[in-house]
Amino acid sequence: MVSLKDVAQRAGVSIKTVSNVVNGYQHVTPAMRERVQRAIDELGYRPNLTARHLRKGRTGIIALAVPELGNPYFAELAGAVIDAAARHDYTVLLDHTGGRRDQELLVCQGFRAHVMDGLILSPIELESEDLLARTDTSPLVLLGEREYDAPYDHIAIDNVAAARLAVRHLVDTGRRRIAFLGAREESARRPAHLRLRGWREELDAAGLPAGDDLVVATEAYGREDGARAMAALLDRGPRPDAVFAYNDTMAVGALRTLADRGLRVPEDVAVVGFDDIDESRFAHTPLTTIAPDKEAIARLAVDCLVDRLAGTAATEPRRARPGHRLVVRDSTVGRR
Amino acid sequence: MVSLKDVAQRAGVSIKTVSNVVNGYQHVTPAMRERVQRAIDELGYRPNLTARHLRKGRTGIIALAVPELGNPYFAELAGAVIDAAARHDYTVLLDHTGGRRDQELLVCQGFRAHVMDGLILSPIELESEDLLARTDTSPLVLLGEREYDAPYDHIAIDNVAAARLAVRHLVDTGRRRIAFLGAREESARRPAHLRLRGWREELDAAGLPAGDDLVVATEAYGREDGARAMAALLDRGPRPDAVFAYNDTMAVGALRTLADRGLRVPEDVAVVGFDDIDESRFAHTPLTTIAPDKEAIARLAVDCLVDRLAGTAATEPRRARPGHRLVVRDSTVGRR
DNA sequence: CTGAAAGCGCTTACAG
DNA sequence: CTGAAAGCGCTTACAG
């Protein structure tokens, strides 16, 4: 490996001068700059970033941990984070947790990837107590609809409002029996999903039923889970005339089951998803869905982290709410 | 930050001893180990990986660069690479190139992410000359169907054979006018797609037409591109009774267009994709497709890289061929 | 089985 | 505008 020292020797100058040239400092005579540059080119010198990082105390790497890259929402989000980070000269180390608490803990304790300046984490199972017990001191920004009593920046759209918007659309288009697909089992410690809460609030406001018989719990949030949840719902009792799925992949699974059962969408059952992944636009029955502003989410998360890293952020945790909108497609209003 | 020195001071031993404990070396008396461990716990010491990396000359990070995380195939593959890397205690830095040559060059020159021991790259536009001009000396493993005259490990399924398998299936099920969606514009320097070659070979073998009127070139390989390509094909002339798409996302786009035109799949037009992404299984008309062994691809790529890094690999470039199989679904044979 | 020293390649004060 | 020295936190020979 070619080091600064080699270049300095070749150019007949001190290491510092080479460093100045490499880092583009002012106050280097053009002649000197050129001489050093020639030595650099001849030797094919490339700075050793590890050494620079050790010296500067930062690595230029931020980590992003999402539950599952197989879920297009997170894949698309990861792409946006990579782009946002690049604009700040940061590179992104990617990890996935499978939405398992132990993995989330590991990641947030920095065990898997301690070579990072900060972390953006989209947790599923993690608890507030886990966050409070965190010993790693690098900045952490949380993503998503879980709410925590812990002093960390948190970026999430208004999930309750978004869910209400989706349900209102179903109510407005004449649906009266609206189910929810994808609630996790509730417990005292783990607050119910905000999306589930929004579903319930809007139905209550409309005076429509919002009982447990209209809610299907699932283990995960993939297409298969959506398909099974839809089947369970249909087997369970009186058919709903609409379903609001936790996310688009589940909604796609629900469409699959409805097709298998010979039910028409939206005539028999309307379907609304959440995430607006590209796939939803191209589904056989294009999916009505909530579109979170993914670019804004990624940008805000990276900005927050960069502010923390620069020490320019306020002390108290930041709470940012990127926008969202309802995208109406055939799965609720038929061919227009 | 707590350093080895602090721990040594606290425990009243030398730095070396602490290092021995941290690294789990033998030949440390249990009493000593415990004393040091207590100091570590009390101070909350965490090793500085950057320093370790500088000293050892490696970072424990490998980079993976794919064209587009929005394509589920690459997202799913990235997940598999992360898992495979974790088994070797490597962390994955993720980058996407947009399939643009300049970005691919940048990545393969190590400019974006020089903090890595090696790189796995799935190129689209990169040329052999770019690879030959590469100055970065870190190991590089190539992925995918492009073929290069450059001394690098290359992991790819047998794309020609896989394409022939897909086309044979169409021929065997009675199709006679089989189109290809997603050929890039050809040039002298840029060899035609292997999948296109397989399509042509199999049609030739079957004595069926394989003219340019059955090939639609596209700019990219997303759902939208597939939809447009299918529309162009239908507008162009006599309707084909089958299409073989470059990948599943394009096939999904083709399904969209066929539905919009009121054509039935597979009765009017059969569709075969390539990649076997989860989405394909759940499409309204589940998609027949080629399933590359993604786990094997990821594992082989990481193994290759790890071998290079360990210096245990042979000098000549390795060429690995993970398996693939045809998955038959409704888009070619209807409901079974 | 443990200690003292050197050095990975860089940047940061400090001189001049 | 340029140079010589110190040090980021670790591991690796080398002694003892």
Residue pLDDT tens, chain A, 336 long: 788 888 888 888 888 888 888 888 877 888 888 888 898 988 888 888 888 888 888 888 899 999 999 999 999 999 999 999 999 989 898 888 998 999 999 888 876 656 789 999 999 889 999 999 888 888 999 999 888 999 999 999 999 999 999 999 999 999 999 999 987 765 433 445 899 999 999 999 999 999 999 999 998 899 999 999 999 999 998 999 999 999 999 999 999 999 999 999 999 999 999 999 999 999 999 999 999 999 999 999 999 999 998 887 778 999 999 999 999 999 999 765
**Number of other CB atoms surrounding residue B73 within 10 Å:** 22
Residue B135 lies in a domain: yes
Residue A233 shares a structural domain with residue A252: yes
**B253-287 confidence digits (pLDDT tens):** 999 999 999 999 999 999 999 999 999 999 999 99
Strand extents, DSSP E, chain B: 61-66, 91-96, 118-121, 140-143, 153-155, 178-183, 215-217, 242-245, 270-274, 288-292, 319-320, 324-327
- Based on the fold, state whether residues B66 and B152 are members of the same structural domain: yes
Beta bridge partners of B5: none
Range of the domain at A41: 4-47
Cα separation of B179 and B257, whole Å?
15
A26 beta carbon to strand D: under 7 Å: yes
- List of chain A residues whose C-beta atoms are within 8 Å of the C-beta of residue B78: 69, 75, 94
Structural domains in chain A (count): 3
Cβ-in-10-Å burial (0-12, 13-18, 19+) of A168 comes to middle
**Residues whose CB is below 7 A of strand C:** A 1, 3-5, 15-16, 19, 22-23, 45, 47-48, 51-52, 54-56; B 13-17, 20, 26-29, 32, 51, 54-55, 57
Is A309 part of a structural domain of the chain?
yes
Cβ burial of B199 (10 Å; 0-12, 13-18, 19+) is buried
Tell me the per-residue pLDDT of A121-137, one tens digit each, with 9 for 90 and over: 999 889 999 999 888 88
Q: Average pLDDT for residues B127-149, to the nearest whole number?
A: 89
**How far is CA A202 from its chain centroid?**
26
Domain-embedded: residue A329:
no
pLDDT, averaged across chain B: 91
Q: How far is CA A70 from the centre of its chain?
A: 13
Could you read off the pLDDT of B96-112 as tens digits, one per residue? 899 899 999 988 887 66
Residues A68 and A37 in one domain: no
pLDDT of residue B5: 87
Same domain assignment for residues A202 and A179: yes
- Judgement on whether residues B224 and B117 belong to the same structural domain of the protein: no
CA pseudo-torsion sign A87, A88, A90, A94: negative
User: B49 near B56, Cβ under 8 Å?
Assistant: no
Residue B252 shares a structural domain with residue B311: no
One domain for residues B22 and B112: no
Task: For residue A57, give the nucleotide whose C1' atom is nearest its CA.
Answer: D8
Confidence band for B188, pLDDT divided at 50, 70 and 90: very low
Both A83 and A197 in a single domain?
no
Residues B213 and B284 in one domain: yes
Which CATH number goes with the domain that contains A254? 3.40.50.2300
Which residues 244-303 in chain B show a CB within 8 A of chain A? 252-253, 255-256, 259, 278-279, 281-285
> Based on the domain organization, do A39 and A91 belong to the same domain?
no
Residues B301, B153 share a domain: yes
The predicted structure's pLDDT at residue A186: 57
User: A250 and A145 share a domain?
Assistant: no
- State the nucleotide closest to A52 in CA–C1' terms: C10
Query: Are B93 and A91 in contact, with CB atoms under 8 Å apart?
Result: yes
Q: Considering the domain boundaries, does residue A91 fall inside one?
A: yes
User: pLDDT at position B187, please?
Assistant: 43
> Does residue B334 form part of some domain?
no
